[in-house]
Structure 1
């Protein structure tokens, strides 16, 4: 069994939401040097191999794809087996782990010397200090961040740049030789693609849609990139595959740490903007200590310290009654009712936000409407009966009539509400005015109701269809064109007078 705790500790290697117990199937096969079952603990992240010596890229448990088993994981093994001159531990069902990645067997430390295959020319360095990453001109690549002391990285050789010696990494990146030493103690697999997360990143599905509720990968983690693909013009790396589906992050939020490049060099995204966490995020960095506020501008007991970074989703004016003024606030993504003042924010990065209201709208929303304020609304409500008796209402489209009815209902609610604000009343009044203006119904003008032309008949049928929300094929003339019948979708037949829809010029 792979220890769940161990896997959780190295979940970045396994991918988001993959901290799950994996069962290695025990077999009765006899090992080369050991018989029976032993417990092995991994000292390095490890791939799974088949008895042919080739990687098993489809190793699954509970319908989850496991490309790598993390350092510290504990598994049951049937013992050692040599494949193509390399020692492996048999973890059952035809699957194997390289012995070089095993730290202990039955609780005892082991030191298996790596016996590389003939085509394994991997060379690695281990950082002895925190190290910056440079380009081929010796200029620091700020977006690559700082590589941590103790990190093992594959390198391809050395190069002198402006008189200084560097180790050449993948993707035209370099670190100073003074910050690293060549090592073979921690082998890195040839075909591993490791990526560094340089910005907080949203997790997407295979179609580029963010998961709901939102999942995030925090800056500073390192993942195995299983593959890459372009979705709607943007490159993504796949970092996991669970019962919820594939898990992808935007490549613009990463740098290639080591291994095979999965994205063509001429299509690599520009990730030099380190202030942006994700193109779909807006991040506010606080310039001073602050408390949070409610939607009414009231201070809460929750607080943040200066320098704290928070994701925000909206910018709006809120009326502060005690100060008799409107002030701009950012809405917190982590608290649906929480806000911080714009004035305490030092910097904003990511997706720009515009105010969703005006300072005047905020003022109106903070003042309760009086009876005098509601007088125009009362007049609009009183007029409704006359409006509904008019041809402009009766012969308008069904959607236009429904909109007017809804506006009147809301107006009645706001008129009767004791806590309705000026903004509520004004918006209700504006909605009635707009809906009334859209009522443009009128009778079809004809030369003679008893002798309609084909064009006049078609116009009448079209009007009846629009008013009753049916298709023209459901409307028919009868009784010498004196009447119309409308057959609804449920088969109900309604008889109408032509004179209700047409008038003589």
Structure 2
């Protein structure tokens, strides 16, 4: 339990009363208390309820729907009204939901006890721990040395990229991972990075402006864009840090490369611009809304679906349909 802060007071929007946030459940959802425990009372699929707060309990995101009553965000479909930013960080800073459908090629680890999360230098993060029995997806196994003279130890990297778990603190199941480096390389990675060591990272950061101007970026999902933006921001912090180690630099560069590889923006292929199908119209509206960071309801088609524009507060901004779609006469209806 404990006191809760109203979400409206957190992001400085307290002055204006925003539209209440309404959530619709896409699955039957148990109601949990603030400790993440449930008496298995249900909110039925399709039910719409008001929520006042988004918060992490443990590693999972929940919406508050009453006094000490929460439902898992994973069971929520539509969210209408004011967007709620979570009021706290997840325990262990793990935003990855372990997927319900187990990926056969993935590797998961389960904590043996209450364990700490570590950074690339093998240092514990303050206040970031996992409880015993928590499962997390991991993406690599690597040796990390805390100093040139220390014995490197094995760590699993969380698939979310938010930190490392000690090999000895967890049990592993799924695809077996081999270390991506040697103990010797781990010792070398402790050295402070020179400008030459940072060359690739610098290049990736400098490339961000042209990436963000590209169709690939603009038409990617908002989550892919946000992940790339975060990798660039985090990378710049490392790049500007005079005492950053080679390990930190390589990690930051790897994060940018991975985030860039997940950008998947592409124009919608349509058969004929003069007679768009309902599905093509829907896809173009989605792409334009995403590229311009506006809700889909703000995108309007007119003149028999040949003119595209953003309409907000009565102001109309014309868009070029060719920025979001490409005519491909080879498409079969």
Pairwise TM-score range, normalised by the shorter structure = 0.3 to 0.5
Flag the structure with more relative contact order, 1 or 2, with Cα contacts below 8 A and sequence separation at least 6: 2
Q: TM-score, normalised by structure 2?
A: 0.44
The structure with the largest helix share of the pair is: 2
Q: TM-score, normalised by structure 1?
A: 0.31
